[in-house]
Amino acid sequence: MQPKRRYLGTHLLAHPEDLKKMVFVAGPRQVGKTTLLQDIGPQLGYKNIAYLNWDRPVDRKPVRDIHYTFFKEEIANAKTKPLIIFDELHKYPKWKAFLKGYFDSFRDDLATFVTGSARLDVYRRGGDSLLGRYWLLHLHPFSVNELLGRMNPSPPAELSSGTDAETKAALESLLKFGGFPEPLLEGKDAFHRRWKRMRRERLIKEDLRDLSKIHDLSHIENLMDLVIATVGSTLSINSLRESLDVSYNAVRTWLKWLEAIYYCFRIAPYSKQIARGLKKEAKFFLFDWSEIVDPGARFENMVAVHLKKSIDFWNDTGAGEFDLYYVRDLEKREVDFLILREKKPWMLIECKLKGDELPRSLLHMASALTPRHTVLVTQEEQEGRYRVAGDLRVWVTGAAAFLRSFV
């Protein structure tokens, strides 16, 4: 399976007007941001494309030149509007001030992409000098639909019920190799193991070192292993603090940095309408679920990334306002995921490896929250169908069919 185009490429081709502003593309390291933008430029009709990577010293000079000489020459020498791609620009301490001046000077003369493997959406918070000058898009790992060259740009009105052999094969490949392009498309165990080791080393020794100025990186590596072990469970910072023998604030700060470099993401508990609902402890998931050994946790994590990918895309492109939570009360009744649409419960989702017995916790939370969709999704394949429990209807489905409804 070799998709012709990433899903954000499909969106940009359908909405070239986005490039009237700068387009920020944020996402994990090695998820395919640079390849996407270099490929999509010619398809959008740009014949003059300049790629500037902050990690290359020679490419830093145009950014530091207060007279914008490089960009003026690009405009003067080009017969058509040039496209400028800035890669890893957030590593430049004055990147926001540079982009503000650059865009205000050349907004009508240059089209601009900005990429980052650290969270551009983190840096934009608080007194954003770039407000109104850019669109932010997130690029996530491959999903079932994207691997098959399909895309659902809008939230589903109804959930998919059927599947096919090709979709099942895509799901199996994703579960085994994760959603990052290189190991997934290579499809070989030895390559996958080498790639995972290399990616972790670069995350620790390059991204974390450059952004956080953390010196004791061994603690961070130990924290990564502890986060992997807690996937699918609530994460206690106090427990991590005791395991690492460091302060509470140190663990909290390190977790924020792991989120900032897109190693993991948190899902908070939702407590409204839930009697004695949990309010504080979050659950953490990895962008590369192939690091997880436990089958149940790996499956839940894969579904989590599919949901987050869809929610980020719908939010980024104006399809609505969506949020992702999990629900749990003090009696330990828990459901894996809750999607809010316009601040109201829309889809409640429980993940299981197999079986279609309706969990009591799912029925309890569905009764309390009354979402539009209540779903039990299993890794074991089965065609979607409704099951009735009292006044509740639960959509029971295999993962291959369920994930076809998302981006």
Using one digit for the tens of pLDDT, what is the confidence trace for 184-237? 999 999 999 999 999 999 998 888 877 666 667 888 899 999 999 999 999 999
Q: Please report the pLDDT score of residue 151 as a whole number.
A: 85
Strand segments, DSSP code E, in 227-321 are 264-267, 283-286
- Give the Cα separation of 404 and 400 in Å (integer): 7
- Give the Cα separation of 302 and 178 in Å (integer): 8
CA dihedral 360, 163, 339, 237 (to 10 degrees): 70
Parallel/antiparallel/unpaired status of strands 334-341 and 322-328: antiparallel
Give per-residue pLDDT as tens, 150-197: 888 899 989 988 888 999 999 999 999 999 999 999 999 999 999 999
Neighbours of 99 (CB within 10 A): 22
Neighbours of 30 (CB within 10 A): 20
* Phi, psi for 280 (deg, rounded to 5): -115, -55
Q: Please report the pLDDT score of residue 215 as a whole number.
A: 67
Parallel/antiparallel/unpaired status of strands 49-53 and 373-378: unpaired
Q: Is 211 strand, coil or helix?
A: helix
Are 247 and 241 in contact by the 8 Å Cβ rule? The answer is yes
More confident residue, 219 or 14: 14
- Alpha helix segments (H runs only) across 231-294: 237-244, 248-260
- Give the Cα separation of 154 and 317 in Å (integer): 10
- Give the Cα separation of 146 and 142 in Å (integer): 6
Mention every residue, 6+ apart, whose C-beta is less than 8 A from residue 117.
Answer: 26, 27, 28, 29, 33, 88, 207, 261, 262
Q: Is 347 strand, coil or helix?
A: strand
Q: Please report the pLDDT score of residue 207 as a whole number.
A: 84
Task: Say if residue 288's pLDDT is above 70.
Answer: yes
Are 117 and 91 in contact by the 8 Å Cβ rule? The answer is no
Structure tokens belonging to residue 108:
């009508």
- Per-residue pLDDT band for 128 (boundaries 50, 70, 90) equals low
Parallel/antiparallel/unpaired status of strands 344-352 and 334-341: antiparallel
Q: Please report the pLDDT score of residue 212 as a whole number.
A: 67
- Give the Cα separation of 392 and 358 in Å (integer): 11
Q: Please report the pLDDT score of residue 131 as a whole number.
A: 86
Domain range summary for the chain, segments of one domain joined by +: 7-138, 164-347
Task: Say if residue 119's pLDDT is above 80.
Answer: no
- Give the Cα separation of 22 and 209 in Å (integer): 28
Cα–Cα distances in angstroms (integers) from residue 145 to residues 39, 168, 271, 349, in the given order: 20, 11, 32, 19
- Per-residue pLDDT band for 2 (boundaries 50, 70, 90) equals confident
Mention every residue, 6+ apart, whose C-beta is less than 8 A from residue 129.
Answer: 96, 97, 100
Neighbours of 149 (CB within 10 A): 13
Q: Please report the pLDDT score of residue 114 as a whole number.
A: 97
Structure tokens belonging to residue 32:
């395919």
pTM: 0.94
> Which of the following CATH numbers is that of domain 7-138: 3.40.720.10, 3.40.640.10, 3.40.50.300, 1.20.120.1770?
3.40.50.300
Are 324 and 272 in contact by the 8 Å Cβ rule? The answer is no
Q: What Rg value do the Cα atoms of the chain yield, rounded?
A: 22
Instruction: With residue 341 as reference, give the H or E element that holds it.
Output: strand 334-341
Are 75 and 108 in contact by the 8 Å Cβ rule? The answer is no
- Give the Cα separation of 373 and 66 in Å (integer): 54
